Structure 1
Amino acid sequence: MSFFNRELVLGRNPHYDKGVRLLDQGLYQEAIAEFEQVGTADPAVYRLARFHLGQAYAELGQRYLQGGLLERAEAALRHAIEIHPRFADLHCQLGIVLRQQKRYQEAEEALLKALEINPRFAYAKLQLGICYLQRGEGEKGWEAAQQAVALEPRLHTTAYQKALNLREEGDLRGAIAALEQVRISEVEDIQFHTRLGDDLYRRGMYAHAAEEYRKAINVNGDYPDLYNRLGVALMAQGDYAGAEEAFRRALEVNPRYAEAQANLVLALRGAGKGAEAQQALQRLAEIAPDNPLLQPPAT
Structure 2
Amino acid sequence: MIMLRSKKLLFWISFILIILIAFAAVAQNQDLTQKKKAKLQRINEIDAKLAAGLPPDEDAKLRKERERLVKEIKEIDKAIQADVEAMKKINAVKKAYNEGNTALKQGQYELALKHYNEALALDSTFAKAYYAKGFVLKRLRKYKQAIESYKAAIRHDPTYDEAYFALGKILSNLNRPDEAIQTYEKAIEYDPNNYKAYYEIGLLYLRKKKMYSKAAEYFRKATQINPNYHLAFNSLGIALTEMGKYDDAILAFESAIAIKENWEQPYYRLAVIYNKIGQYKKAKEAALNALKIRKNYAPAAYEAGKAAKEMKQYNEAIKYFRIAAKDRSWRRAANYEIDLIQNRERYGIE
TM-score range, shorter chain: 0.3 to 0.5
* Structure having the larger proportion of residues in helix: 2
Larger radius of gyration: 2
Bigger relative contact order, structure 1 or 2, given CA contacts below 8 A and separation 6+?
1
TM-score (norm 1): 0.45
